[in-house]
Structure 1
Amino acid sequence: MIPEGRDGGSPLFIFSMQTGRTEQVLPIVKTDEEWKAILTPEQFAVARGQGTEYAFTGKYHAWKEPGIYSCACCKTDLFSSNAKFDSGTGWPSFSAPVSPLNVRTRTDRSGGVERTEVLCARCSAHLGHVFDDGPPPEGKRYCMNSAALDFYRLP
């Protein structure tokens, strides 16, 4: 079964931390009005409008609980607390996603600088940016916005 898609999107594969398996799902497509009905204004501005929360203000920047960070829009698993580290930047930072299947990237030239934007692979929510100054062995810093994330503990 392929849950929660619309508009004939092609199936994709997403890794689930709860099942420990890669599952076939459809992309989630909603109108801005539908997103606004389920997201807070801050979540909508960040995740759907490519916004950025102020440094050191997000709920998860200093969060230390063990668990999984998921997409605030579609609940796709994105990052494990095992990959979280304190980058000193004021945003939650991770060395790697739970699976490369669960995120996608694209070039972002907004603000007069070129960066690599990170998006949820299932619903295309803007999550933040990835930089090449993270800890070994990956050397990546996935600098995410708390407003684009939810958190849950694995059973």
Structure 2
Amino acid sequence: MHESMRVQRRLWVLERVGSWLLLLVVLLTLLGLFSKGLLSSVEASGAQGRLHVDYERFLRNGATSTLVIDVKGAPGETLRLDLEGEMLEGGTLESIHPQPATGATHRGTGMSLQLRPDAQGHARIHFSMRADGVGLYRSRVHGGGEVVDLSQFIYP
């Protein structure tokens, strides 16, 4: 039987490239490209720092994630928080903690909440959401006179 070294060398190169690609995928997975991790966790703030949002950039369909929003305002006054965009279209809101003072729909696809701040005018709210969609979803959070844009990708 005759062996072709030229074909064998090509196969060896292909094996090495495949091994490096597999290693790259594993490394990106560990860093959070496909779920929670360094590449996925995002902390976004408004220009003056009165609005701060922690969320996951990459989600899996059916998985639960937490969205944490901090809003600062004047002590003693109720804070308004508006969420608009596609975030609620790509997921199901499972819980809000602590419960807002009031809540209403906002511009058809969003929600508007009135929050009770502490004595220093600070309010923190946690949203537990389950991703139901697939693809890229863009949203916007308004609070404390500032705006933060969110972008999330949901894998199938």
Normalised by the length of structure 2, the TM-score is 0.25
Larger Rg: 2
Normalised by the length of structure 1, the TM-score is 0.25
